[in-house]
Amino acid sequence: MDSFVAIVQVLDSTIRLSVPLLLACLAGLYSERAGIFDIGLEGKMLVGAFAGAAAASVFHSAFIGLGMAILISVAFAMVHGFASITHRGNQIVSGVAINFVAAGSTIILGQAWFQQGGRTPALQPGERFEAIVWPGADAVRGVPILGPIYSELISGHSILVYFAFAMVPFTWWVLFRTRFGLRMRAVGENPAAVDTAGISVAWLRYRALICTGVLTGVAGAYLSMVQNGGFVKDMTAGKGYIALAALIFAKWKPVNAMFACLLFGFLDALSIRLQGTPLPIVGKVPVQFMQALPYVLTVILLAGFIGKAIPPRAGGVPYVKER
Amino acid sequence: MSTPYAKLPAWADYGLIPLINLSVAFIVAGFVVMLVGENPFRAAVILVQGAFGRGTGIAFTLYYATTFIFSGLSVAVAVHCGLFNIGGEGQGYIAGLGIGVVCLAFDSILPWWLTFPLAIIAAAGMGALWALIPAYLQAKRGSHIVITTIMFNFIAASVMVYALVDILKPAGSMAPQTRNFLPGAELPKLNWIIELFGAKIRSAPLNICFLLALIMAFLVWLLIWRTKLGYEMRTYGHSPKAARYAGISETRIILIAMVISGALAGMMALNPVMGDQHNVALDFVSGAGFVGIAVALMGRSHPVGIVLAAMLFGMLYQGGAELAFEMPAISRDMIVIIQGLVILFAGALEHMFRPYIQALFASLSPTSVGIGAVKGKGA
Amino acid sequence: MAQAAIELIGINKSFGAVRANRDINLEVARGTIHGIVGENGAGKSTLMSILYGFYQADSGEIHVGGKPVSINTSNDAIALGIGMVHQHFMLVDNFTVLENVILGAENDALLKSSIAKARSELERLEREYGLEVDPDAIIEELPVGLQQRVEILKALYRGAEILILDEPTGVLTPAEADHLFRILKQLKEQGKTVVLITHKLREIMAITDTVSVMRQGTMVATRATKETTVGELAELMVGRRVLLRVEKGQSEAGAIKLSVKNLTVKDSRGVTMVDDVSFDVRGGEIVGIAGVAGNGQSELLEAISGIRHAVSGEVMLEGRPVDLTGKADPGELRDRGLAHVPEDRHHVGLVLAFEENENSILGYHDDERYLKGPFLNVDAIMADAKDKIEKYDIRPGNPRLRTANFSGGNQQKIVLAREMEQDPGVLIVGQPTRGVDVGAIEFIHKRLIAMRDQGKAVLVVSVELDEIRSLSDRILVMFAGRIVGEHGPEATEGELGLLMAGVEHQEAAE
């Protein structure tokens, strides 16, 4: 029974750790499907986390915080669009730039506004998103097997967690069942086809980047307003890059993205859980090995040793009308 | 990366436009300073004074610049071959492992001038190795080198944590770092050079790596513009098809360029490890690999430009420390913002002002601007 | 006669210093097939792109159905019932036919109703015009001819009354082209107006009602097709009495220098582009390969020069075998005396960002003349570049100038100077005068003949039939990846044209 509880706990933290990855990964899916590489997911998540926590603590409202997180994150996405769509700049360089501006400005502004060494004040109840307890969760806790699954795994998460998982089918639906999704997929494959069909390539890509900004904003808000109760400098700690890895791992498909993020989240949860405890058969596994595993797996996948990850064809190339 | 070939005079191309881009980056940075309630002009004065006002400041500026010259050269060599090596951070970090092993093994038996060459080889070798794998995967398996090098930064970080915490940390110590090196692995300081000019230096880490960096800058210039190999790298960087036509092996040139790039990134670890801290500690690279991207973009991938850009960033690092002291609202992270803005305006938005400059030149002399002006702009 | 479907009045369009269209007037009658012919670069595609809203004219008026209109985007054109089939298909390769058809013409924000509508529309179009295609097929899995059909369906689905086709047969097999023409005639019968852009005169004669000729950005004539001849059109297109024949003596063919046997080459998609080709080139002769673009000539050149690996075949260079199926690379072939002037000088033959002198050693940068150990011998390279500039009259004569700043003709001379001055035994040249001004053409032709007279083996591939006829001592015709015939230089355009068109090549061989 103990081991079952342990498993449920690991799965529970898997969900919690997967959520920011999933949101950022879906965010990346919108922009990359539209043909814009985005290694600035990390930075946009970071500014989202900062803006969310800062606004929540100043205005004492979780929802104002969330709104601000989205707003600022979208603004950064627009900078990326301005550089890579309007001015046809190098998308990778632009993404790198955004990550630096985000890393620096969150600390500088945080220190200037709150004087807590780059932190925002700890969020009070009402300023953060609380866990939602589902009806009957406490009552069934004692029921074997199903009880813990219902009360721990399904119930007891914040609204952003449910939002993140709801975004998976939603994104699939947008991508494959709506006009916007059709055009977005087309512009990521062959922007000239979209252009000659009388659709603005630039505006379409900007809209995709707005979606990206919204989702990275929510991802950031989750980090600072759910997981942590306040902003801490560099709190994304590479999650934007893991999300990017998950996106490649998922071959740019929404449902795959969820599984990839759950896998990476699970590895993370496991490494926390196992810290120092020896495993059967393999013995003691260094924590660092578990932490590096997502990156190693992505490298192996990219090298084509397990299937082939083919990115959207027009990805990374600015669209120029041919003469 | 297709660049519109505009007929602008060289001085405008290599001087005016970068200067405008840089100025815009600093103006935006100035707004951030205003946003935190300080006076940007006063901040600039403090910054420059902090960097060059006293001998110690100059020495620190050059010390920081040393690392950035290496990382800037690393990025530039890859760029000339059409590759974006974003993995300098990890290559430099992992190189610390090589340096550490050499220093720990020989610091008690060899003098510094024998340890140093061995450490250079170890640093360059480890850095090169860490770049070689992504290079191989790009050349042979077609994996995108940007993504792979990013992944390798994280893998390097995990490897280093493991190595420092589980292997190299002396028994009984809490800090995740190696023991301090003995004098056999401490590099001589260069502060006396600045003192020659009459300045006083209390203690600053400027060391012989600075000279090594300048030598490497010269060698990179020689490599890129004066050797057959450099010619081949540039050919491939501009046009892989032309390289194929010219009989240049794609695999070979990608591997060589990345190995050189990685070696240069690895060598940047010598400066802090052997010149200053005298140990290998967690996160000792602290972003210097990424600064190289800004340095290379600003220096337009030319060694002279890179040395100048590295000096500028050295100044920002040193002056920034003084600034943080004088203006508590501004910490050294201000530099990270400036770095980001430089990358944004000198890199991703490098052509933003070009049409206007071209229009200006066209209005001054109608014959000097031709078709290029149109190619540059779109619908 | 019905009123004009399209009327263009005084259209001007410049790209920087280049005037692509000057003062163009054109009237296309409703319910006709109207051909527009002209050489490459005559401004046909630019004009049609203006009509389709892809570019905006600098000045001029467009009338559609008798009313003046302004067409600023492709959307405007589509709304006016204009559809375009581009030379390079504007299709999303990993989409289905249906998805491509509805892209940009969806009913509403959700796809469901659009897909249902498109499915029934496609059925109707299939019935009416014989445009048969599986709506659920993925584009990249369809042959080129069907992909083009999807482009036509796209235009019709959007209610196009006027259909513009830009060089539609360039990528088609003869059978596919025939099928296309049947479809176009059917469209005409249904009252649609078709504008056909091409540089192939035979197509014009076969299916158009009216033909307009463009030359160097201007509209030089419009004729009823019945009242004109291929000869007249050709003369109007070229404007001069077809290429001046370069003076050349009898060839004195010597030993075989390049021998190709059973060479087969596939492209990156795995399609066989060169199919079991055999021929010899002797010292002291120019062998020309004629053919419509896309019949395997490019792949043949790439394989012989080592750029693309061949699948199989035996090739002898100066009497010694070379393995082109994977071992030989362009550098090795160069060392063995094979020089190559590639078709695409902008991306292959030159590095446009380089200085002129740097390009003058491209491919020969291994040569010890240009090196001092691992270093470039800058003085020697400069002296060599200046020498070539003088010999080949390259202008401006500044070896430090960026190559992109030279004109097309001078860029081609840079490549030719580099390849010819190496004194190769075999010279292969792809499209020697593409995008080159008239003066330079003559110079280049004379140089090629001088090479021949020095006893070199010269292989020329060109889509310009006149060029081939003027230069060659022997003419091979390539069609669908095969050599379908051989003629002497006295062969008429008609004879060669039949071979190039792939018609009755069995009879021609007899």
Cβ of A310 under 8 Å from any chain B Cβ?
A: no
Q: Is pLDDT larger for residue C234 or for residue C273?
A: C273
Tell me the chain B residues in contact with residue C348 when contact means C-beta distances shorter than 8 Å: 239, 241-242, 244-245
**CA-nearest residue of chain B to A240?**
B150
Element (H, E) at B307: helix B303-326
Looking up tokens 């050709």 gives C234
What average pLDDT is seen over chain A? 90
**Same domain? C199 vs C264:** no
Element (H, E) at C490: none
User: Does a structural domain hold residue A106?
Assistant: yes
What are the residues facing C12 on neighbouring strands?
Answer: C59
Give the mean model confidence (pLDDT) for residues C465-489: 89
- H/E/C letters for each residue in B168-220? HCCCCCCCCECCCCCHHHCCCECHHHHHHCCCCCCCCCCECHHHHHHHHHHHH
Nearest CB to C330: which of B234, B238, B244? B244
Q: How many residues does chain B have?
A: 379
Burial of C64 (0-12, 13-18, 19+ CB in 10 A): buried
Query: Which is nearest to C2 in space by CA: C26, C25, C32?
Result: C32
Distance of CA B197 to the CA centre of its chain: 28
**Same domain? C151 vs C272:** no
Query: Is C363 close to B241, i.e. CB distance below 8 A?
Result: no
B271 φ/ψ angles, rounded to the nearest 5 degrees:
-60, -60
pLDDT at B377 (0 to 100): 32
Checking if the pLDDT of C155 tops 90, the result is yes
pLDDT at B365 (0 to 100): 63
Element (H, E) at B13: none
B321 φ/ψ angles, rounded to the nearest 5 degrees:
-65, -45
pLDDT at C83 (0 to 100): 94
Q: Is pLDDT larger for residue C390 or for residue C497?
A: C390
Is residue A222 within 8 Å of A19, Cβ to Cβ? yes
A128-142, A199-213, C154-168: the lowest-pLDDT one? A128-142
Is residue B22 within 8 Å of B345, Cβ to Cβ? yes
**Same domain? C212 vs C69:** yes
CATH of the domain at C443: 3.40.50.300
**CA-nearest residue of chain A to C91?**
A193
Separation between Cα atoms, residue C443 and residue C448, nearest integer Å: 9
Residues of A at the C interface (Cβ-Cβ below 8 Å)?
176-183, 185-186, 189-190, 192-199, 313, 321-323
Checking if the pLDDT of C444 tops 60, the result is yes
Nearest CB to B373: which of C16, C329, C350? C16
pLDDT at B24 (0 to 100): 94
Tell me the per-residue pLDDT of B271-293, one tens digit each, with 9 for 90 and over. 999 999 999 999 999 889 999 99
User: Does a structural domain hold residue B266?
Assistant: yes
User: Does a structural domain hold residue C283?
Assistant: yes
Q: Which of C15, C346, C351 to mutate to test the interface with B (most CBs of B within 10 A)?
A: C351
Separation between Cα atoms, residue C138 and residue C146, nearest integer Å: 11
DSSP state of C83: E
Q: Is pLDDT larger for residue B191 or for residue C235?
A: B191
Cis amide leading into C396 (omega within 30):
yes
Across B36-40, B303-307, B317-321, B344-348, which has the greatest mean pLDDT?
B303-307
User: Does a structural domain hold residue C392?
Assistant: no
Domain boundary pick from C238, C269, C284: C238
**Furthest C-alpha separation in chain B:** 75
Query: Is C332 close to B229, i.e. CB distance below 8 A?
Result: no
Tell me the chain C residues in contact with residue B246 when contact means C-beta distances shorter than 8 Å: 330-331, 362-363, 365
Tell me the chain B residues in contact with residue C353 when contact means C-beta distances shorter than 8 Å: 3, 5, 238
User: Does a structural domain hold residue A42?
Assistant: yes
Tell me the per-residue pLDDT of C391-418, one tens digit each, with 9 for 90 and over. 999 988 899 998 988 888 899 999 999 9
**CA-nearest residue of chain B to C378?**
B226
Checking if the pLDDT of B32 tops 80, the result is yes
Cβ of B247 under 8 Å from any chain C Cβ?
A: yes
Amino acid at A280: P
Distance of CA C425 to the CA centre of its chain: 28
Cβ-proximal residues to C126 (8 Å cutoff; 6+ apart), any chain = C132, C133
Give the mean model confidence (pLDDT) for residues A70-74: 98
What is the helix, strand, coil percentage profile of chain C, to 5?
35, 25, 35
Give the mean model confidence (pLDDT) for residues A285-291: 82
Checking if the pLDDT of B1 tops 50, the result is no
Q: How many CA atoms lie within 13 A of C256 on its CB side?
A: 12
Separation between Cα atoms, residue B180 and residue B276, nearest integer Å: 11
User: Does a structural domain hold residue C264?
Assistant: yes
Neighbours of C493 (CB within 10 A): 16
pLDDT at C404 (0 to 100): 87
Domain boundary pick from C209, C238, C267: C238
Tell me the chain B residues in contact with residue A203 when contact means C-beta distances shorter than 8 Å: none
**Same domain? C99 vs C140:** yes
**CA-nearest residue of chain B to C359?**
B235
What are the residues facing A283 on neighbouring strands?
Answer: A279
User: Does a structural domain hold residue B33?
Assistant: no
Cβ of C354 under 8 Å from any chain B Cβ?
A: yes
**Same domain? C157 vs C221:** yes
Query: Is A96 close to B290, i.e. CB distance below 8 A?
Result: yes
**CA-nearest residue of chain A to C47?**
A323
**Same domain? C84 vs C205:** yes
Neighbours of C329 (CB within 10 A): 18
Query: Is B242 close to C348, i.e. CB distance below 8 A?
Result: yes
Give the mean model confidence (pLDDT) for residues A5-25: 93
Query: Is A186 close to C110, i.e. CB distance below 8 A?
Result: no
Give the mean model confidence (pLDDT) for residues C168-181: 80
pLDDT at C2 (0 to 100): 53
Write the CA distances from A132 to B116, C8, C166, C227, integer angstroms: 61, 68, 62, 84
Looking up tokens 């944590």 gives B161
Cβ of B329 under 8 Å from any chain C Cβ?
A: no
Tell me the chain C residues in contact with residue B370 when contact means C-beta distances shorter than 8 Å: 16-17
Query: Is C93 close to A183, i.e. CB distance below 8 A?
Result: no
Residue B135 confidence class, pLDDT cut points 50, 70, 90: very high
Domain count for chain B: 1
**CA-nearest residue of chain A to C84?**
A196
Write the CA distances from C144 to C34, C45, C141, C171, integer angstroms: 24, 21, 9, 7
Domain count for chain C: 2
User: Does a structural domain hold residue B5?
Assistant: no
Query: Is C95 close to A196, i.e. CB distance below 8 A?
Result: no
**Same domain? C268 vs C212:** no
Cβ of B5 under 8 Å from any chain C Cβ?
A: yes
User: Does a structural domain hold residue A188?
Assistant: yes
User: Does a structural domain hold residue B39?
Assistant: no
Domain range for residue C323?
A: 256-353+423-509
Pairing assessment for the beta strands C256-266 and C210-215 based on DSSP bridges:
unpaired
Separation between Cα atoms, residue C467 and residue C490, nearest integer Å: 13
**Same domain? C234 vs C272:** no
Tell me the per-residue pLDDT of C240-260, one tens digit each, with 9 for 90 and over. 544 556 777 888 888 999 999
A45-59, C152-166, C480-494: the lowest-pLDDT one? C480-494
Q: Residues C226, C231, C232, CA angle at the centre, nearest 5°?
A: 65
Distance of CA C471 to the CA centre of its chain: 19
Q: Residues B80, B86, B87, CA angle at the centre, nearest 5°?
A: 115
**Same domain? C297 vs C233:** no
Element (H, E) at B370: none
Q: Angle, nearest 10°, between helix axes A254-274 and A287-302?
A: 160
Cβ of A104 under 8 Å from any chain B Cβ?
A: yes
- Which chains share 3+ C-beta pairs under 8 angstroms with C? A, B
Tell me the chain B residues in contact with residue A291 when contact means C-beta distances shorter than 8 Å: 158
Separation between Cα atoms, residue C1 and residue C194, nearest integer Å: 16
Q: Which of B226, B232, B245, B301 to mutate to test the interface with C (most CBs of C within 10 A)?
A: B245
pLDDT at B7 (0 to 100): 63
CATH of the domain at B297: 1.10.3470
User: Does a structural domain hold residue A317?
Assistant: no
Q: How many residues does chain C have?
A: 510
Residue A309 confidence class, pLDDT cut points 50, 70, 90: confident
Checking if the pLDDT of C126 tops 80, the result is yes
Q: Which of C103, C112, C117, C140 to mutate to test the interface with A (most CBs of A within 10 A)?
A: C103
Query: Is C353 close to B238, i.e. CB distance below 8 A?
Result: yes
Domain range for residue B79?
A: 59-304
Q: Residues C161, C163, C169, CA angle at the centre, nearest 5°?
A: 155
Residue B68 confidence class, pLDDT cut points 50, 70, 90: very high
Q: What ranges in chain A are assigned the alpha helix state H?
A: 2-33, 41-59, 62-81, 91-114, 137-140, 146-148, 159-177, 179-189, 191-196, 201-222, 239-249, 254-274, 287-302
Burial of B241 (0-12, 13-18, 19+ CB in 10 A): middle
Residue C172 confidence class, pLDDT cut points 50, 70, 90: confident
Cβ of A36 under 8 Å from any chain B Cβ?
A: no
pLDDT at C245 (0 to 100): 65
pLDDT at C52 (0 to 100): 92
Cβ of B227 under 8 Å from any chain C Cβ?
A: yes
Q: Is pLDDT larger for residue C145 or for residue A22?
A: A22
Domain count for chain A: 1
Q: What ranges in C371-492 are assigned the alpha helix state H?
A: 378-391, 408-420, 438-453, 465-471
User: Does a structural domain hold residue A275?
Assistant: no
Looking up tokens 């997911």 gives A41
Using DSSP, state whether C313 is helix, strand or coil.
Answer: strand
Using DSSP, state whether C415 is helix, strand or coil.
Answer: helix
Checking if the pLDDT of B153 tops 80, the result is yes
Domain boundary pick from C208, C238, C268: C238
Is residue C135 within 8 Å of C117, Cβ to Cβ? no
Q: Could you give the ipTM of this predicted complex?
A: 0.90
**CA-nearest residue of chain A to C15?**
A323
**Same domain? C202 vs C288:** no
> How is C141-178 classified by DSSP, letter by letter?
GS-HHHHHHHHHHHHHHTT-SEEEEESTTTT--HHHHH
Query: Is C90 close to A190, i.e. CB distance below 8 A?
Result: yes
User: Does a structural domain hold residue C374?
Assistant: no
C45-49, C137-141, C198-202: the lowest-pLDDT one? C198-202
**Same domain? C163 vs C307:** no
Query: Is C111 close to A199, i.e. CB distance below 8 A?
Result: no
**Nearest C-alpha of chain B: how many angstroms from A59?**
20
Domain range for residue A27?
A: 2-239
Q: Is pLDDT larger for residue B310 or for residue B198?
A: B310
- Which chains share 3+ C-beta pairs under 8 angstroms with A? B, C
Separation between Cα atoms, residue C46 and residue C34, nearest integer Å: 17
**Contacts of range C58-62, beta carbons closer than 8 Å, 24 or more positions apart:** C58/C12, C58/C13, C58/C14, C59/C10, C59/C11, C59/C12, C60/C8, C60/C9, C60/C10, C60/C11, C60/C12, C60/C23, C60/C24, C61/C8, C61/C9, C61/C10, C61/C11, C62/C6, C62/C7, C62/C8, C62/C9, C62/C11
